[in-house]
Amino acid sequence: MTMAKKPAKKPANASKSAAYHHGDLKRELVAAGRRVLEESGVEGLSLRGVAREAGVSQAAPYHHFADKDALLAAIAAEGFAGLSAEMAKRSSGAKNSGAHMGGLGAGYIVFAFENPELFRLMHGPRFAVAEKYDDLLVIASESFTMLRDGVAACLPGASDADIDTACTAAWSLVHGASMLIVDKRIEAGSTVEEIAAFADTLTSQLPVSRPR
């Protein structure tokens, strides 16, 4: 009697390879890029390193990204989408316009705390050329629109100029605090809960965030 041949063991990345053939490679490269970014920073990220992290050939990234900057732009776009989602989540269900503003600020700061290198990339000078990164800038504007709408709700009847000034003040506060946390210049907490509590205290100092 001939023994049945045991099926060959599939490579560990077989399921990944199958997924790539169904169009998931670009998404996996962005995810791998985020992992490399948080570990090594922008300067330590390369297409070759991302391919290695994703378990694909060195040539594979070039099927979706022309160069490193194109991949970084995709990573940053995903980051801005995540930032807007965090802001929306923490401001959802607020009982008044001031609490809503506090939630927006907490979402901003918490996102920076959880994604320090991604946050640096998103707000760095690399994507300043609007003509080259117009799609990214559209996504990036969503979080600012949320902020402006929140400020406008706190200042009914205010002129556009006054709303713009208040937006600048609010953004400066939360972005400055975020960068201080990312750069480890201040001790605001070591957990998401502590960072959120710090953000709530901080945003309460804004005139536009006082409950009415």
Q: Does a structural domain hold residue 3? A: no
The CATH code of the domain that includes 157 is: 1.10.357.10
Q: What is the pLDDT of residue 162?
A: 93
Q: What is the pLDDT of residue 12?
A: 43
Residues 97 and 165 in one domain: yes
Q: What gap in Å lies between CA 35 and CA 44, rounded to an integer? A: 11
The CATH code of the domain that includes 43 is: 1.10.10.60
Max Cα separation, the chain? 90
Quick check: helix, strand or coil at residue 185?
A: coil
Q: What is the pLDDT of residue 141?
A: 92
Length of the chain: 212
- Higher pLDDT, residue 206 or 61: 61
Quick check: helix, strand or coil at residue 148?
A: helix
Q: Does a structural domain hold residue 146? A: yes
Please tell me the pTM assigned to this model.
0.84
Give the number of C-alpha atoms closer than 13 A to the C-alpha of residue 137, restricted to the C-beta side: 10
4 pLDDT exceeds 60?
Answer: no
Nearest to 87 by CA among 74, 105, 70, 75: 105
Residues 88 and 157 in one domain: yes
How many distinct structural domains can be found in the chain? 2
Q: What is the pLDDT of residue 130?
A: 60
Do the Cβ atoms of 210 and 98 come closer than 8 Å? Answer: yes
- Amino acid, res. 16: K
Last residue of a domain, one of 5, 34, 65: 65
Residues 163 and 175 in one domain: yes
Nearest to 32 by CA among 142, 86, 136, 19: 19
Do the Cβ atoms of 109 and 178 come closer than 8 Å? Answer: yes
Q: Can you tell me the mean pLDDT for 86-92?
A: 96
Residues 81 and 138 in one domain: yes
Segments forming the whole domain that contains residue 56: 15-65
Residues 110 and 38 in one domain: no
| pLDDT tens, position by position, 16-54 | 444 444 458 999 999 999 999 999 999 999 999 999 999
Confidence band, pLDDT 50/70/90 cuts, at residue 103:
very high
Q: Does a structural domain hold residue 9? A: no
Residues 157 and 181 in one domain: yes
61 pLDDT exceeds 60?
Answer: yes
Return the minimum-mean-pLDDT range out of 75-79, 114-118, 187-191, 204-208. 204-208
Q: What is the pLDDT of residue 15?
A: 45
Q: Does a structural domain hold residue 7? A: no
| pLDDT tens, position by position, 105-125 | 999 999 999 999 999 999 988
Question: Residue 126 has which token pair?
Answer: 């690399």
Q: What is the pLDDT of residue 134?
A: 80
Residues 28 and 98 in one domain: no
- Compute how many other C-beta atoms are within 10 angstroms of the C-beta atom of residue 189: 15
| pLDDT tens, position by position, 171-181 | 999 999 999 99
Residues 124 and 38 in one domain: no
> If you average pLDDT over every residue of the chain, what do you get?
86
169 pLDDT exceeds 80?
Answer: yes
